[in-house]
Amino acid sequence: MKNISKILLLSFVLLSLQGCATHAKFVKKHDAWVGQNISHLINDIGYPDSTFMLPNKNKVYVYERSRVYSLPSPTLGLGYGYGGLFGSYGMGFGNDVIQETCKLFIETNKKGIVIKWGSRGNHCVSN
């Protein structure tokens, strides 16, 4: 019972910490970069993971973020052992594997001014 309490407390803490970061804040943050020079953005968030050139000669900067973690999850099992006609029940712990990803695309014109941005992933959030 003590382990279950610890797991529930850990899950609550993790969920409450994630509650501060939202997609709306992510959108607001990146909307503010439109019209700014890419060098200011690079100074703020670091070098991109990759870049590529579009046919219209605009440049796209790509930032990728991913995180994989596991959380213990209680499981209920039914097993049959020797001497038991009706079987036995047991409770154990498995792991839920969670993968969070976000890929950010920032397009600049020939002068290096951010003209638009986009994102893909299940965890594009910001504080």
Whether the per-residue pLDDT at 6 is higher than 80: the answer is no
Domain presence at residue 66: yes
At residue 9, the pLDDT reads 52
At residue 34, the pLDDT reads 97
At residue 2, the pLDDT reads 56
How far apart are alpha carbons 101 and 85 in whole angstroms?
48
85: domain range? 2-120
Domain presence at residue 58: yes
pLDDT tens digits for 28-39? 999 999 999 999
Domain presence at residue 126: no
At residue 97, the pLDDT reads 83
Domain presence at residue 90: yes
At residue 73, the pLDDT reads 72
pLDDT: which is higher, 87 or 126: 126
At residue 28, the pLDDT reads 93
124: phi then psi, degrees, rounded to nearest 5: -90, 90
Per the structure, the count of domains in the chain is 1
pLDDT tens digits for 69-115? 887 776 665 555 555 555 555 556 667 788 899 999 999 999 999 99
pLDDT tens digits for 49-58? 999 999 999 9
- List, in sequence order, the alpha helices (H) in 1-127: 2-18, 23-31, 38-45
**28 close to 21: Cβ distance less than 8 angstroms:** no
**15 close to 71: Cβ distance less than 8 angstroms:** no
Domain presence at residue 125: no
Whether the per-residue pLDDT at 124 is higher than 70: the answer is yes
